[in-house]
Amino acid sequence: MTAAGLGLPGLDFAVLDAYWPVILAGLWTTVRLCGASILLGLAVGLGVELLRARVRRAAPLCRVYVEFFRGSPILIQLFLLYYAGPGIGITLDPEAAGVVGLGLYGGAYFAEIFRSGFEAIPRGQLEAAACLGMPPLRALLRIELPQMAALVLPPAVNQSIILIKDSAVLSIITVPELTKQTSRIINETFTIAEPLLVLAALYWLLVTGLSAAGAALEARLTRHLNPSRKTS
């Protein structure tokens, strides 16, 4: 790619030619760590919400968790985990700290998303299940979770997109992800504009791709709710 080809004066993307493997490795690390943190966040969020709603004693603790992780910036949570963790016996390498940090942060948001999902399911369904002698666990697995999954898909995809963008801050605790690798290139080549523009474009592609995938999945999962498909 040349500057003339892009119509941008003064830009020369040729400097990046030697660095594409580094950039792609960073991109892969970002994708891998984000995937892990989103899964961790979903698991933590679901666990916290189930505890909050079903175990009375645990409810205040769950509220404190959600308030703390939603109320403070992800960067300071990462600092606490990575720099203060060793003081209380938690020693994690940067990648693990990143996944745990992003996962706990996302978990607080996912818990609230799951809460609204559970609350949207009519109580009558659970009462009917109980009348039919269905044990609560089976009602949860067969009646609540499948419906909730379709309901929470759009906000959960949104939250995942936010987590991908927030994963850029992992560069600050030295995780070799996309942003960190790009800063390395800036320092090695003394070029600023080209690496930063490529960095921005790659994040935009990731986010826009996930958003499109989410919309497609949502359309599939909610086909049965689409009134135009009614036969009568």
Partner 1 sequence: MSHVPDFSIAVAHLPALLQGAAVTLGVSLASIVAGLGVGMAVCLCRISRRRPLAWAARAFISALRGIPILVLLLIVFYMLPLAGIELPPVAAAIIALSLNSGAFQAEIYRGGFASIPPGQAEAARALGMGEGRILRRILIPQVLVRVLPSLVNELIMLLKNSSLTSAITVVELLRASQQVVAATYRPTEIYLTAALLYVVMNTGLSALGGMVRARLAGRGRVTA
Q: With respect to partner 1, which residue has the nearer C-beta, 54 or 70?
A: 70
Q: Is 47 exposed, middle or buried (CB count within 10 Å of its CB: 0-12, 13-18, 19+)?
A: middle
What single-letter amino acid sits at 35? G
Size of the site for partner 1 (CB under 8 A): 38
Site string for partner 1, 154-173 (x = CB under 8 A): -----------xxxxx-xx-
89 is a site residue for partner 1 (CB under 8 A): yes
Find the binder of partner 1 among 88, 131, 132, 225 (CB under 8 A).
88
Cα–Cα distances in angstroms (integers) from residue 57 to residues 49, 54, 63, 153, 186, in the given order: 13, 9, 11, 29, 52
Closest approach of partner 1 to the CB of residue 178, in Å: 9
Residue 111 Cα to chain centre, angstroms: 13
Q: With respect to partner 1, which residue has the nearer C-beta, 28 or 68?
A: 68
Rounded to the nearest 5 degrees, what angle is found at the Cα of 175, between the Cα atoms of 174 and 176? 105
Estimate the crossing angle of helix 178-189 against helix 193-221, to 10 degrees: 160
Find the binder of partner 1 among 36, 207, 217, 221 (CB under 8 A).
207
Contact 29, 171 (CB under 8 A): no
196 is a site residue for partner 1 (CB under 8 A): yes
Give contact residues for partner 1 (rule: CB under 8 A): 67-68, 70-77, 79-80, 83-84, 86-89, 165-169, 171-172, 179, 183, 186, 192-193, 196-197, 199-200, 203-204, 207-208
